């Protein structure tokens, strides 16, 4: 099965539309914080992530695999679908956890990821806000291509849809987990859920403007699909509360092409870390 044969883009588009409509009708985008430049960043970021860099990276890595490792094509095609979904989800998300963590550790990579955190509010649209550097050398995309090449194509598509569903719902301004925390008989269930997958509470905390309120954890809660990576590697912070302010505390709104195109384009504002 080829990645390009699937309808995954249509399914993701439907998810984005449904969640974004839900956000709109629950009050998102009405705060006045979404400037024209922020919308340019968001729309261009989605195009850069989904329409440009993902197909490009898939074609590049597929070509390399077909030229140098052709004998291994579809090696694992006989693996049961349930096992394939588990394998692809774990390997792909494990890679993303460490890449995301590295982006908050190393300055050069942070500048490629910073645009993801510069958004003024949480939204499903944040899922596409990363620079071309961060996206083009995204290790989990290399892993994804390898898995598809080895015969996990159908399993990957199923797993990837689940990953996107969880990732989008965790980034959304819709706090679907908040009322569930208040139902007493669900406490044991939610205790498990919030330690297995990313939820709005844990991921909103990662996007907090500051960690001074005891809720935000800018350098933690890195998990995209699975939160248990954070639990396992000591980067988890669970409060079941939501930060009041989202974004970057000392943010200076650089043009969209700077935030997505750094280091090719640099900020002219000397106060910005994107100017260096």
Per the domain annotation, does 113 fall within a domain? yes
What are 222's two structure tokens?
Answer: 């890195």
pLDDT band at 184; cut points 50, 70, 90? very high
Per the domain annotation, does 25 fall within a domain? no
Per the domain annotation, does 163 fall within a domain? yes
Q: What local confidence, expressed as pLDDT, does residue 125 receive?
A: 87
The count of domains in the chain is 1
Containing structural domain, residue 139: 3-12+34-275
User: Cα–Cα distance between 113 and 57 in angstroms, integer?
Assistant: 18
Per the domain annotation, does 27 fall within a domain? no
Task: Mark out the alpha helices in the chain (DSSP H runs).
Answer: 8-25, 36-46, 54-68, 81-103, 107-117, 132-136, 139-147, 153-171, 178-181, 187-196, 200-206, 228-233, 256-261
What are 134's two structure tokens?
Answer: 């961060």
User: Cα–Cα distance between 236 and 132 in angstroms, integer?
Assistant: 28
Per the domain annotation, does 51 fall within a domain? yes
Q: Please give the residue that has the higher pLDDT: either 269 or 237.
A: 237
Q: Phi and psi dihedrals of 197, rounded to 5?
A: -120, 160
Query: pLDDT tens digits for 34-45?
Result: 889 989 999 998
How confident is the model over 115-137, as a mean pLDDT?
89
Q: What local confidence, expressed as pLDDT, does residue 1 receive?
A: 46
Query: pLDDT tens digits for 222-235?
Result: 999 999 999 999 99
Q: What local confidence, expressed as pLDDT, does residue 56 receive?
A: 87
pLDDT band at 10; cut points 50, 70, 90? low
Query: pLDDT tens digits for 253-273?
Result: 889 899 999 889 988 888 888
Q: What local confidence, expressed as pLDDT, does residue 7 receive?
A: 66
pLDDT band at 178; cut points 50, 70, 90? very high
Query: Percentage of the chain surpassing pLDDT 90?
Result: 52
For the full predicted model, state whether its pTM sits above 0.75.
yes
Q: Please give the residue that has the higher pLDDT: either 98 or 31.
A: 98
Per the domain annotation, does 22 fall within a domain? no
Per the domain annotation, does 228 fall within a domain? yes
Per the domain annotation, does 235 fall within a domain? yes
User: Cα–Cα distance between 133 and 262 in angstroms, integer?
Assistant: 8
Which of 49-53, 65-69, 183-187 bottoms out in mean pLDDT, i.e. has the lowest? 49-53
């Amino acid at each position: 099965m080829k990645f390009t044969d699937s309808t995954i883009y249509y399914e993701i588009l439907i998810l984005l539309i449904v969640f974004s409509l839900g956000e709109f009708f629950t009050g998102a985008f009405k705060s006045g914080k979404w400037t024209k430049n922020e919308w340019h960043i968001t729309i261009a970021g989605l195009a850069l992530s989904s329409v440009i860099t993902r197909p490009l990276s898939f074609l590049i890595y597929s070509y390399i695999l077909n030229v140098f490792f052709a004998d291994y094509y579809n090696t694992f095609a006989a693996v049961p679908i349930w096992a394939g979904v588990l394998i692809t989800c774990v390997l792909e998300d494990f890679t993303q956890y460490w890449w995301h963590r590295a982006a908050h550790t190393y300055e050069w990579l942070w500048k490629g990821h910073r645009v993801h955190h510069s958004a003024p509010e949480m939204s499903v649209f944040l899922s596409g806000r990363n620079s071309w550097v961060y996206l083009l050398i995204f290790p989990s995309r290399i892993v994804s291509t390898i898995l598809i090449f080895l015969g996990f194509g159908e399993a990957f598509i199923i797993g990837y849809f689940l990953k996107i569903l969880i990732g989008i719902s965790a980034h959304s301004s819709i706090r679907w987990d908040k009322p569930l925390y208040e139902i007493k008989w669900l406490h044991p269930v939610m205790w498990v859920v919030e330690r297995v997958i990313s939820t709005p509470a844990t991921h909103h905390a990662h996007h907090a403007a500051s960690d001074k309120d005891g809720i935000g954890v800018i350098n933690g809660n890195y998990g995209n699909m699975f939160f248990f990576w954070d639990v396992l590697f000591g980067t988890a912070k669970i409060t079941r509360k939501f930060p009041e302010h989202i974004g970057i505390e000392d943010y200076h709104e650089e043009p969209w092409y700077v935030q997505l195109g750094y280091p090719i384009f640099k900020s002219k504002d000397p106060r910005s870390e994107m100017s260096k």
